[in-house]
Amino acid sequence: MSSKIRLGIIGGGGDSLIGVLHRIASFMNDNYQIVGAVFNPVWEENIGFAKQIGINTSRIYPDFDTFIEKETALPTSERIQVVSVLTPNFLHFPMAKKLIENGFHVICEKPMTTTYEEAEILQKTLAKTNTVFAVTYTYTGYPMVRQMREMIKNNEIGEIQKVDIQYYQGWINPIIHDKKLRNTVWRLDPKKGGISCCVGDIGTHAFNMAEYLTGLEIKSILADLNYLYEDNTLDIDGTILVRFSENVKGVLRTSQIATGEENGLQVKIYGTKGGLKWEQENPNYLQVLSEDKPLQIYKPGHSYNSELSLNGTKLPPGHPEGIFDSMANIYLGVAKAIRNEPYNSGEFPVMNDGVRGMKFIEQCVASHKNGNSWVQL
């Protein structure tokens, strides 16, 4: 009877924040119903969490392999259609790969994989299918981010000539200066966090935003990372010079030691005709600069916005929506794709965004280790 898309969740149980974010996002536009899950590898916690959030426990599976086995055995009309992968980073690749191979659509948290090599394999795996695959660069779902993308596409600020994107947080500051403490944080452990902490976790958002907004590819980068202490092996801060072409340059600035910053993703893009500025912590205000007219502030929900932007606003202007709504907009786009309804480019980040992100991370570290030299992307 229900026309809702059958959604499965892997990970995201307990007090996982990413779990809440995805769950609410899936609810928001009445498109999805969570029908199965492996919230946690520990059975008691898994089943307990399902009960706690009121999910029917009949399709809560003990582990990922059982999930695959049991669900694929179900008739198509009952089988889970799409799976959100919210597990620790190193599990994204094997799970996403197996899900694709078994015909599930996938909504994968970022970083998509732990290496560029894995990302390429995943891309090839996907290429053979008709599977919908989304990587949740959450911030691309904000209405004013989408409005920027459309304004740039429509040449409203002319040819891009400068891109400056910041992602500053401060949460590692109280950890990094304490030798004992910094050796206990999983993100600073290369075995768990991969080859990068700061660039991998947030720099990749800045990178994705740069390419998502401009519609251009970054061709080369020069990274200067900071580790602060010799015994700390993963970067916690970095400035990355970027080139879209010989004369179209930019800078990505990331930090986890910008003490007191919360989640300071900020965008500044300048073209031959104007400029755009936006801040994640105050997402409903988009500054549009020009040379000879007053500064304009665009806000969500107004008819002057593009379809891609309006698509992501549920209430009239003046009713602030936030990050749950942003993620929900990505889920909305995925729902359209799964249902074979028309949707616009930009409604959700795709496999290629995930692949580019992995390459970016690896090349940042390579550039830095090679004496801050230019490397290709």
Residue ranges in 315-354 that form contacts with a second copy under rule CB under 8 A:
315-325
Q: What is the separation of C-alpha 365 from the centre of its chain, rounded to a whole number of angstroms?
A: 20
CB of 103 to a second copy, least distance (A): 22
260 near a second copy, judged by CB under 8 A: yes
Among 31, 40, 136, 214, binds a second copy (CB under 8 A): 31
* Strand ordering across the sheet containing 105-108: 32-38, 5-11, 82-86, 105-108, 133-135
Q: Helix, strand, or coil here: 115? A: coil
For a second copy, the closer CB: 325 or 362:
325
CB of 170 to a second copy, least distance (A): 7
Stretch that binds a second copy, among 67-75, 86-94, 102-110, 164-172 (CB under 8 A): 164-172
Q: Residues in contact with a second copy, total (CB under 8 A)?
A: 96
Cα separation of 113 and 7, whole Å? Answer: 22
Among 76, 77, 247, 340, binds a second copy (CB under 8 A): 247
Among 272, 345, 370, 376, binds a second copy (CB under 8 A): 272
298 near a second copy, judged by CB under 8 A: yes
Residues 175-194 contacting a second copy, CB under 8 A: 177
CB of 178 to a second copy, least distance (A): 11
- Angle formed at CA 356 by CA 155 and CA 147, multiple of 5 degrees: 30
Q: Helix, strand, or coil here: 271? A: strand
For a second copy, the closer CB: 100 or 221:
221
Among 125, 255, 309, 363, binds a second copy (CB under 8 A): 255
Residues 37-66 contacting a second copy, CB under 8 A: 51-57
Among 7, 151, 197, 222, binds a second copy (CB under 8 A): 222
Token output for 6: 């059958």
Contact 9, 23 (CB under 8 A): yes
Amino acid letter, residue 32: Y
- At which residue do the structure tokens 């206990």 appear? 184
The secondary structure element, H or E, covering residue 366 is helix 351-369
Token output for 194: 């991969």
Burial of 15 (0-12, 13-18, 19+ CB in 10 A): exposed
> Strand 275-279 and strand 264-271: pairing?
antiparallel
370 near a second copy, judged by CB under 8 A: no
CB of 67 to a second copy, least distance (A): 19
Residues 84-143 contacting a second copy, CB under 8 A: none
